[in-house]
Each structure stands twice: as C-alpha cells, then as structure tokens.
Amino acid sequence: MNTPFASSMKSSSHSIACMTALLAASSIACELEADEVREQDLFAPDLDPDEREPHPVVEKLGPDAPQIEDAFGAQEPCAEGALCEGIALEDFAARNLVNGGKKTRGSNSQLIIPRNILLADVNNDGVSEFIQYASNKLFVSKTDYEKTGVAHLYMPRPIKRVITGDFGGSHYDQTCVITEDNAFACFAASPDHKDLWWWFTQGSFVGDNEDSIVGDFDGDGRDDILVYPKAGGAYRMYSVKGSFGFDPTPTWIPGNLAGAAPAGLRVRAGDFNGDGRDDVLVINSWRQVVVYASAWDGTNNTFWWAWTSVGNFVGTNEEATIARIDNDAVDDLVLRDTSTGATRFRKVEYGNGTPPAIAVTTGQIDVSANTKLFWGALRGPLSETGAAYRDDAMVYNLSSNMFHRADARWDGAQLTYWWRTPSRRRTTTAAGRRSRPSPGSFSSAGSPMSSAHPISTASTPT
C-alpha cells in the first residue's frame, strides 16, 4: 500500500482554531473553568426558542490556517488527467446500502447548503458531519453545538466542487474534491477514522455546467454518480467497480430517463419503493413530480418511468428534498416553501396524481420564513420508535446564517421532531467576561457564519 495522505487533522488548538474560524464568523472559546462540570446534552421540547439570548461574539482562538499543506504525503501528485492510487479501502462484500445500515445519503450538487457546506458521514461513526470548503481548504466538523473538529485537508489548487458518497461500499462517505485544474481527488477515512487519507486521483468527468446526483442506482452496495447537464442533454453515470477510480457504469442505459433531459430540471435520488436501489425523482417545468424506478431489464441497469403527478403539485417557491420521515425503509418527499417556511411531508406514491401526505408533524423544526431545510443522521442510535430509519432536520436561516437542528424523535404517542439543546457551558466574550448561553434555537455552527469572514466567502461553487 502506498504512503497515505498526510494532511490529517491534528489534535492541537491550532487545528481546532482553523476549523472554528472556517465554520463561524467568530470562534467560541470552549474552555471550562476548573470547577465547572459539563452537563450532557438534553432534549427539551418544552423550551421556548424565542426566550434565547444573543450568542456572544468573541475573537478567534488562533491564527488562520496556512494556505499550503501537502495533501498527498510524500508522493508526487498525479499528472494531469492521469489515474493514480493512494490507500486501499477495506475489503467489502457487495451489500445493499440501506438494508446494511448506512444512515447518510450521497451529495446532490443541486442541494448544497449555502457557504459551500455539505452533510456526510466522513469518519464512519454513523452520524453526519459538516464539510465546508473555500479556496484550497476543506474542513470537517461534528454537527454538535461545539462543532468539534474532525479532519481537514488543503489541496494544491482551489476547490471547485465536493462530491460525497459511499463509492467504495464501506458504509460511510468518501470525499471527492474537484480542483480548478479539473483533478478529481478522492479521500477516505484512515483506519482509526480520525484522519482523511488520499484514496485516488483522476481527471474530472463532471463539467462545471453539470450537476452530480449521488445514489446506489445499480444496487451493488456502492454509490454511483449520475451526471445531468444543466442546460439539457444526455445523462451519464459513473461508478467505482474495482479498488479505485471512476469509469462509465457498465451495463447501464438511461432507459426512460433519456426522455427527461431538458434544461432546468430538479433531479433527486432516493429509494422510493424499498428495493434497495436508488430511484430518480424529477420536478419539471410544469411543477410535476415524475418518478423513474431503477431496474434491471435482463441486460442492463436502467430507469423505467413509474408515474407522473398532477401539474403544479410543487409550489412556486417550494424546494424539494428527500428524507425518511416516517418509520419505514422508504424515502419520502419534503416540500418546503423557502419564503414562508411552510413544510409538507409526502409519500413518493402516485395517489391518483397527488402523492399522499404523511401523518408526521413538523414538531419543533424551525418553520421561519427565508430558510432552507436539509437532512442528515445527527443524533446517533436511540432505542425508540422510528430511530432505525428516520432522518434528522437541519434548517439553515438565510437571514442570520445560523443552523437550527431538530432531531427525529418519538414523544410516546407520535413521531415528531425535537429541537436540540446545546450543552450547558460557558463561553468567553471578547471583553473577557464569562457568559452562559441560554437555551434557545440551537445553532450547530455555534454562531452565525458572517459573510464578511474572509474564508467563508473566498470561493463560490460552480
């Protein structure tokens, strides 16, 4: 095995400072007084988010991260367009991602969180982490209140795009980075799951004007990348079938999906029939939901048209995301009006042209105006109804640039969502005073991400 990627997260105050500086406008000092005891996080559905105090603004803990760090250890980087291998992933047997217990879903370039943020299980702990990138830097942190640092890497060139998915069939997400020279470099968790190690590099097969939708479309236990030209055109699909490297997916044809390739489509992936293969859901210019089931036709993996909803089913301002809302192993459709915050949960079923509603309340999900809703596996294992399947909610407020997290829970009578309380801890203000944040709407980033922050605005995704 070749020398592994050496730019891993160091367990030092400097690395934590770099992580914090990227994810927040101002870092938060997390040191406890000698006589202070940290309390456990509590779920508190009876707390009023409107009673919160402003989060204290404090100075950074340390200097900015260096601009250059060797992303490939002692190895020479690949020649332009070449395919080069780093570490080898652990051996795997082909297995269904969903039924095998994988909790997160692959990325979709149409659903990137503002400020170049993604959610993915990078370190194989079964819980989603934040990934954020800017310029040539990529930082990974936990989705807890403290945004605990997990890993980082610095690429030789500025990053244009990040794509995540379980491309190696290892039941956690690998992180692939496209840089401005069109190198496509993929990284995986180290054996102790504490670092990111280089997996392989090749030339990019995703154009700047193309979307990338990740899912296990052929049911082999590895995620694939479906490429959709934004201006319209033929779909393409790529997979890792050997130990490393993407190639056009063998024995695959677009089937009925070939007729759904005009410009401006919203394309989503999810397992809508519970067969362990990801299907494709498209929202067209008539605001219809059109579903294509992934299938094996005896010769090729392909997509078959399943059904089309009535026209104007999706609202003018509604954004569509895919999540598991109720207690089953089937993905659902979530429609959220980004201007008002109104949210609808729907089964991906025909329902005579109107996909049926799901009898799950939004609970304490933030339904404020001017917000976006995203999903991940945020809470870890629980022994309660719905814990095995349901996704947790992460709302991004476009006005305050804050996250508001609500976990999928069972209140003893029904499935719902509970706002996640921060740890009871004190922080140090810029003036040196000790301040204790009051319970309120929980920001997983710890504090607002300022548009004035030089790192947060250094790069815009293509």
Give tens-digit pLDDT for 49-99. Answer: 344 344 333 333 333 333 444 555 545 556 666 677 666 665 444 444 444
**In this predicted structure, what is the pLDDT of residue 31?**
28
Strand partners, 43: 420
d(CA 376, CA 169): 19
Q: What is the pTM of this model?
A: 0.77
d(CA 321, CA 391): 12
Q: Label residue 20 by pLDDT band (50, 70, 90).
A: very low
- Predicted confidence (pLDDT) at residue 436 exceeds the cutoff of 50: no
Averaged pLDDT for residues 270-287: 96
d(CA 11, CA 197): 16
Averaged pLDDT for residues 231-239: 95
Q: Name which residue leads in pLDDT, 347 or 192.
A: 347
Residue 153, token pair as written in the block: 């890497």
Nearest to 365 by CA among 346, 347, 344: 344
- Predicted confidence (pLDDT) at residue 4 exceeds the cutoff of 80: no
Range from 166-175, 412-421, 441-450 carrying the lowest mean pLDDT: 441-450
Q: Three-class SS of residue 162? A: strand
Under DSSP, the state recorded for 15 is H
Question: If residue 20 lies in a helix (H) or strand (E), which one and from where to where?
Answer: helix 13-23
Q: Name which residue leads in pLDDT, 307 or 424.
A: 307
Averaged pLDDT for residues 186-190: 94
Question: Is the CB of residue 322 less than 8 Å from the CB of residue 333?
Answer: yes
Residue 329, token pair as written in the block: 């192993």
Q: How many CB atoms lie within 10 A of CB 64?
A: 13
